[in-house]
Amino acid sequence: MKDSEARSGTALTQAPQFPRRLNTGPAWFWFLLPAGVITLVFFFAPVIITLVISATNMSTITGLTRWEWVGFGNYERLLSLPQTVRRFWITLRYVLFTLVFFNVGMALLIALITTHIPRQLGTFFRAVWLLPRITPVVAYVFMWQIMAAAPPHGVITSNILEPLGGPTGNLLPANAFLFIVLVNGFIGASFGMIIFTSAIESIRQDIMVASLVDGASKLQRIRYIILPQIRWPLLFVTTYQTLSLLTSYEQILVLTGGRWGTEVWALWAFNVGLDDYYGFFQYGLGAAIAAVLVIMGILFALLYMRYFRFNELLHEPRIDVL
């Protein structure tokens, strides 16, 4: 590289190669295109379509072509239906019970226990509690159907109730509400469990030790150190899971299909719009029922924007090249 002088001497003649630029548009556009199209087609359009369909009488009879506008007709029908109030209360009870006892309560309990027993056992039990979430829903619900089944097959009936002389027969119809709470609860607990566990484990170790040195018992430490420290995750899980429960119906659909007083709002929309037993799908009415949840979803989602402390998550890019 002794020719450096010569090189810099000729540099002037080399330098003015102005960047040739193919007219392909900025890179970010192409990177975002697939996600953008999918978002447009499967989120934006459906939200609008839901609202539009809810103003029509579209059903399997009218098909997708011969429908008519009914304005707020579907919503008025909703208000006049006697089921509406019943569905509303069922949904509310279902969300409340599952949330309190499992998605938050059980989740917190398991997170606390698994962080207070030997590490490997804690990991093991958390893995066990994650199982329901990763198990295919039909297989999972099938297990619960077995639990509830009539003797001699059912586990609860033949192993617990029969020896005690309790009621026998399939438990599901009579206790359907209890079972939808249990089925959803055992899945729902794991979400909070993981968030809480990581929150507890990220509490500074010196504080944890200091509190014990100060003479707190383990229970007092939970009360005065841990719970105040995970206040924010608690709030987050509560709100997030409220929305999830409001709009989830997969497990209920498989377990009862909505029979025996378990047709929650979201399932109702599904059943009316897409899963009628006799094949009479009322898209219009179903969309109106769903629209109520869509609106709620949007409101909740906006709420998260505040909770998530969005601006803190935003790092300014430190490269200007496009």
Partner 1 sequence: MIKRDALLKPLPLVSIAILSIPIFVGYLWVFMRTFTTRMYGMSPVGELTLRNWTFIVTDPLLWHLTLNTFVLAMGLTVGIVLVSCSAAYPLSRMSFPGRKGFLALTLVLHAFPSVVLLIAIFVVLNYLSRVPLIGRGLPLIGGVGYNTLGGVILVSIAFLLPLGVWLMKGFFDNISWDLERAALIDGCSRFRTWRQILVPQIRPGIAALGIFAFMHGWSSFIIPYTFMVDQQTAVISTYLNLLASGEQLMDYGVVSAVALFQLVPILAFYVFTQKYLLTIFGGGMKGGT
Partner 2 sequence: MKMELVNLSKKFGDVYAVKNVSLAAEDGELVALLGPSGCGKTTTLLSIAGVYRPTEGEILFNGLCVNKMQPKERDIGMVFQSYALYPHMNAYQNIVFSLVLRKRPKDEMERAAKRVSEMLGIGHLLKRKAAELSGGQQQRVALARALIKEPKLLLFDEPLSNLDARLRLSMREEIKRLQVQLGITSIYVTHDQVEAMTMADRVAVMHDGELLAYVPPEELHERPRTEFIATFIGSPSMNLADVTVDNTGGSAHAVLKNGVSVKIPKERLPRMPQRGNAVRLGIRPEDVSVVAERSADVQARVTFVESLGRENLVVCDVGGQRIQCLTGPGQKPPLDSTVGLKLDMSRAHYFDPESQVSLLWEN
Residue 43 makes contact with partner 1 by CB under 8 A: yes
Residues 150-169 close enough to bind partner 2 by CB under 8 A: none
- In terms of CB distance, is 16 or 165 closer to partner 2? 16
Choose the contact partner of 175 out of partner 2, partner 1, none; CB within 5 to 8 A by kind. Answer: none
- In terms of CB distance, is 6 or 24 closer to partner 1? 24
Residue 19 makes contact with partner 2 by CB under 8 A: yes
Residue 4 makes contact with partner 2 by CB under 8 A: yes
Residue 321 makes contact with partner 2 by CB under 8 A: yes
Residue 8 makes contact with partner 2 by CB under 8 A: yes
- In terms of CB distance, is 21 or 119 closer to partner 2? 21
Question: How many positions of this chain bind partner 2 (CB under 8 A)?
Answer: 16
Residues 105-164 close enough to bind partner 1 by CB under 8 A: 106, 109-110, 113-114, 116-117, 121, 125, 127-132, 134-147, 151-155, 157-159
Instruction: Considering only the stretches 5-13, 190-198, 227-235, 250-258, report the one whose residues sit in contact with partner 2 under the rule CB under 8 A.
Output: 5-13
Q: For partner 2, which residue of 152, 277, 311, 320 counts as binding (CB under 8 A)?
A: 320
Residues 266-305 close enough to bind partner 1 by CB under 8 A: 266, 269-270, 273-275, 283, 286-287, 290, 293-294, 297-298, 300-302, 304-305
Q: For partner 2, which residue of 5, 64, 163, 228 counts as binding (CB under 8 A)?
A: 5
Residues 299-318 close enough to bind partner 2 by CB under 8 A: 316, 318
Choose the contact partner of 109 out of partner 1, partner 2, none; CB within 5 to 8 A by kind. Answer: partner 1
SS3 labels along the chain: CCCHHHHHHHHHHHCCCCCCCCCCCCHHHHHHHHHHHHHHHHHHHHHHHHHHHCCECCCCCCCCCCCCECCCHHHHHHHHCHHHHHHHHHHHHHHHHHHHHHHHHHHHHHHHHHCCCCHHHHHHHHHHHHHHHHCCHHHHHHHHHHHHCCCCCCHHHHHHHHHHCCCCCCHHHHCHHHHHHHHHHHHHHHHHHHHHHHHHHCCCHHHHHHHHHCCCCHHHHHHHHHHHHCHHHHHHHHHHHHHHHHHCCHHHHHHCCCCCCCCCHHHHHHHHHHCCCCCCCCHHHHHHHHHHHHHHHHHHHHHHHHHCCHHHHCCCCCCCCC
Q: For partner 2, which residue of 7, 153, 218, 259 counts as binding (CB under 8 A)?
A: 7
Burial call 117-153: b when 16+ CB within 10 Å, e when fewer:
eeeeebeeebeebbebbeeebeebbeebbebbbeeee
Residues in touch with partner 2 (CB under 8 A) = 1, 4-5, 7-8, 11-12, 15-17, 19, 316, 318-321
